[in-house]
Structure 1
């Protein structure tokens, strides 16, 4: 069996409910809050209210711009997040030889396809946060 045939067979057998499935690692990575926010920031989300059309074109962003957009992220965490996204093929890093060197990040086609899912998750969290707070308070009052 060729390597391509082995990959094809393995792909057909991916099942995240199986303990050793490699898709679990990917799910772990893409469910991280910093990954969600980085993908949303690179697409330009945030200025639009939940449910609004995000038809703006994605654009390259510099590290410092991403850091400002993602309030609270440490330099170390943003660097680790961007490296992992680049490794997985979701983000492209471009270095331009200027003085000083300019580095930009942008979503790849694969990253754009994931963005559609992430955008819905981010929007859901923003739209339902008050309900979740209410349920948490009720639960804590019952059990605390």
Structure 2
């Protein structure tokens, strides 16, 4: 969208949705050696239990998130693997509500309306790309 209707700021992150958070967390941290983005209390899991971790990778974020939490956040039934989301494309926007109205006007079906996610420190909304990929608009202050 070159017209700026979304108020797109940047690519937010790639978020991998996982069932076994501990195994995935140890793989990305210990096997691949990816550095955690934040090393302060509250920003990283207190243990391998998750539900979220973010790794810094060349100026981009690769995050892990427990799939059951993502399903709950968009009001989806927790489904068996194979019928589920495994990736969320996260796009940071200036104003989630305006971005949602912009894509809704273009015929996009919104999966989850804008909502404040206090635990995440951001406002989010979710939609789907034509082949079903879950897209998240997020709004947060630096």
RCO comparison, higher one (Cα < 8 Å, 6+) = 2
The structure carrying a bigger strand percent of its residues is 2
Compare CA radii of gyration and give the structure with the larger one. 1
Does TM, scored on the shorter chain, surpass 0.5?
A: no
**Normalised TM-score (structure 2):** 0.22
**Normalised TM-score (structure 1):** 0.21
The structure carrying a bigger helix percent of its residues is 1
